[in-house]
Structure 1
Amino acid sequence: MAPPGAKKGLLERLDAGEVVIGDGGFVFALEKRGYVKAGPWTPEAAVEHPEAVRQLHREFLRAGANVMQTFTFYASDDKLENRGNYVAAKITGQKVNEAACDIAREVANEGDALVAGGVSQTPSYLSCKSESDVKAIFKKQLDVFIKKNVDFLIAEYFEHVEEAVWAVEVLKGSGKPVAATLCIGPEGDLNGVPPGECAVRLAKAALEPRIVTRWDIHKYARDAYNLGVRYIGGCCGFEPYHTRAIAEELATERGFLPEGSEKHGSWGSGLDMHTKPWVRARARREYWEKLPPASGRPYCPSMSKPDAWGVTKGDADLMQQKDATTEMQLKNLFSKQSLQSN
């Protein structure tokens, strides 16, 4: 049990039946705001523009999140070297990870929030480095998380379940709770491992996105809760208003609304003060639940298929390089894509 006055840990909250709301995507949000470079997606902003990272944490906290995940996505040394180039020389991975931990803890202490240290997939794995080499990358980040005493750990956005397993094996050595997520579709990971087998393996180990609406997230939160899920959050593209939608949908279960709902009502209820009656008529759950999803663009697809092109770890096209893709490499890629589609 936590001592009097101390925050309850993640497992304590879940064991008590509480709903824990994670925060959302940082690289996408900060890229849109001009602090992250699309492509590399490296988080040097934690050092270069800490005020921007701090503000986004605060927006998620105000929207109802009670987990502040460190802005350490792609903060491994090999990623900073491989994609940030100047970043690794000027800042170092350790500085980025330490700054991210300090910012997350500062904002978490402004509310009843926990801090989660995060690791993600590495260029070393894609370039066929050994298991020990890849695990050493994770261990370096973990050392910072232990030093900064984060509350729990997340291995996120892994496209190969094998690498996710390696990450979990390293992180669980900390003795802290560990969560893991995969970036896969119905066909499984990039090696073709089916989703079910990916889940079993993890259990044994222990710029124009189509954004879902807040109404989609209301439904997602309710469905997840009804399935027994008590930790609910998001990743890339998940903005503070999505987090607020979770908090509003589950306000009865949690017993309160977040500060970010003071000027906002669930399911468009604020629209009942609009000047036009046909807009006021939208201030009801039924309207938004039945609204057909659309991007607003002609011929937009309702479903997407990953551009995997049949490549996976070890393929020459996935061998990591520091330089930008050349015209010749693009021609070769498009040629392979054409063969795949035929």
Structure 2
Amino acid sequence: MGKGILERLDEGVIIGDGGFVVALEKRGYVQAGPWTPEAVIEHPEAVLELHREFLRAGSDVMQCFTFYASEDKLTVRGNKAGRHGSTNINEAACLLAREVANEGDALIAGGMSQTPTYAEGGSKEAVQEHFQKQADAFTKCGVDFLICEYFEHAEEACWAVEICKKTGLAVAATLCINKEGDVDGVPTSECAVRLANAGADIIGINCNFDPDTVLAGVREMKRGLEEAGLKRHLITQPLGYRTPDANKHGFVDIPEFPFAMEPRTLTRWDCHRYAREAYDLGVRYIGACCGFEPYHVRAIAEELVTERGGKLPLASEKHEMWGGGLKLHTKPWVRARASREYWENLRPATGRPECPAYSKPSSHDITD
């Protein structure tokens, strides 16, 4: 039997995969708005191919495409994804992830996220019933570990962790918050402590914010855990966009969300910097979320090649480090760009002279 997620983290760095829901929306397989993963049943070939691209790019974990796959979310506001059933969607996602993971040395993770039931004031019992249904599907399919992700409320995340811990599997828990705390005002450092006390083995932040903001938040989490005398692995899975102007709700409040985010997309060189800063902070599960494509993950793997024992991803066969392939270009001024110094110091233009550098986010207190 191979090494599990905690053993691998004890030994070195793990690279996660990227953002399925946004990537598949762009490809025409996910509907923006509900953002639910019925594509695992309706278009399994598309999900398989994206898994393969992330595996080829260097991902060590195939996260099952089960974002927003709780029964209540699949049917909320007339969403038709519910006709497939939560159990069927979760099980189909696990099978697809396992098929690709078996093509390499990857683990698969079942993921669950915030629920409309909690946002509507549902009881702990009612909310955990949704988590239990997903956990049952994941254990039936033999996932390697579980991820409770994309929670704005630390309380709801802890409820999810409690259910996941009953499976006996390792559990990661990530909140979609910044360094200021969750939407209920619980400080970020305290959020980490609560997740740890609930049983989470891996703790961090995912989605809603860019790498700089996520790293600042995880730094607070690390401080809180250390002050409480708790030792846990850290995980970061930020957006693939620059969002320094986002408020506490993150990129969903930026006017460009979700259909005009492209000008904010990270370059692969931004991902090199993110990977290095995360590693130096002590993060060993370095992943990605919405906006990250396989080439971004490849950049993470290339930045950490030394820390990973010289292991380059298969996708690097067609991508020399720091633009080295440009040495073969026909134009001498392009050949001159084949250097780390050039790409690390570049300040890329947007090509949009009349556009502002930042936007003014919407302001609201609605979270469902």
- TM-score, with length taken from structure 2: 0.79
Shift of 1:253: 1.8
The reply to whether residue 34 of structure 1 matches residue 28 of structure 2 is yes
CA distance in 2, matches of 1:214, 1:83: 38
Aligned residue among 94, 99, 103 for 1:101: 94
Q: Is the 8 A contact 2:101 2:107 kept in 1?
A: yes
Aligned residue among 100, 107, 113 for 2:106: 113
Counterpart of 1:79? 73
Shift of 1:298: 3.5
Amino acid at match of 1:79: K
CA distance in 2, matches of 1:46, 1:60: 16
Aligned residue among 228, 239, 254 for 2:293: 239
Structure 2 CA distance for partners of 1:202 and 1:262, relative to 1, 3 Å = same
Is there any run of 5+ residues in structure 1 with no aligned partner, and where?
A: 1-5, 319-342
Partner SS, residue 253 of structure 1: coil
The reply to whether residue 277 of structure 1 matches residue 332 of structure 2 is yes
Pairs within 5 Å for 1:52-91: 52-83=46-77, 85-89=79-83, 91=84
Structure 2 CA distance for partners of 1:305 and 1:294, relative to 1, 3 Å = farther
Counterpart of 1:331? none
- Deviations, residues 283-320 of structure 1 (Å, cap 9, x unaligned): 1111111122554333555556753x24146xxxx4xx
Counterpart of 1:173? 166
Amino acid at match of 2:327: D
Counterpart of 1:338? none
Matched residue count: 306
- Deviations, residues 60-94 of structure 1 (Å, cap 9, x unaligned): 000000100000001111000115632212x1111
Counterpart of 1:340? none
Shift of 1:54: 0.2
CA distance in 2, matches of 1:302, 1:7: 47
Shift of 1:200: 2.2
Partner SS, residue 110 of structure 2: strand
CA distance in 1, matches of 2:319, 2:298: 10
Amino acid at match of 1:144: A
Counterpart of 1:123? 116
Aligned residue among 14, 24, 27 for 2:9: 14
Q: Is the 8 A contact 1:125 1:163 kept in 2?
A: yes
Structure 2 CA distance for partners of 1:160 and 1:298, relative to 1, 3 Å = farther
Structure 2 CA distance for partners of 1:131 and 1:293, relative to 1, 3 Å = farther
Q: Percent identity?
A: 67
Choose between structure 1 and 2 for higher RCO, CA contacts under 8 A separated by at least 6 residues. 1
- Deviations, residues 213-259 of structure 1 (Å, cap 9, x unaligned): 11111011111222222211111111111110111111122121111
Is the deviation greater in 212-221 or in 187-196?
Answer: 187-196
Partner SS, residue 53 of structure 2: helix
CA distance in 1, matches of 2:51, 2:116: 27
CA distance in 2, matches of 1:305, 1:162: 29
Pairs within 5 Å for 1:263-342: 263-298=318-353, 300=355, 302=357, 307=362, 309-312=363-366, 318=368
The reply to whether residue 144 of structure 1 matches residue 199 of structure 2 is no
* RMSD between aligned residues: 1.7
CA distance in 2, matches of 1:293, 1:301: 15
CA distance in 1, matches of 2:279, 2:101: 24
Shift of 1:18: 2.2
Q: Is the 8 A contact 1:25 1:234 kept in 2?
A: yes
Structure 2 CA distance for partners of 1:305 and 1:149, relative to 1, 3 Å = farther
Q: Is the 8 A contact 2:18 2:290 kept in 1?
A: yes
What stretches of structure 1 move > 3 A for 4+ residues in a row? Answer: 293-296, 298-307
Amino acid at match of 1:229: V
Q: Is the 8 A contact 1:40 1:84 kept in 2?
A: no
Amino acid at match of 1:268: G
Aligned residue among 296, 307, 326 for 1:253: 307
Structure 2 CA distance for partners of 1:180 and 1:301, relative to 1, 3 Å = farther
Amino acid at match of 2:140: K
- Deviations, residues 174-206 of structure 1 (Å, cap 9, x unaligned): 111111111112432222322222222222223
Q: Is the 8 A contact 1:171 1:178 kept in 2?
A: yes
Amino acid at match of 2:33: G
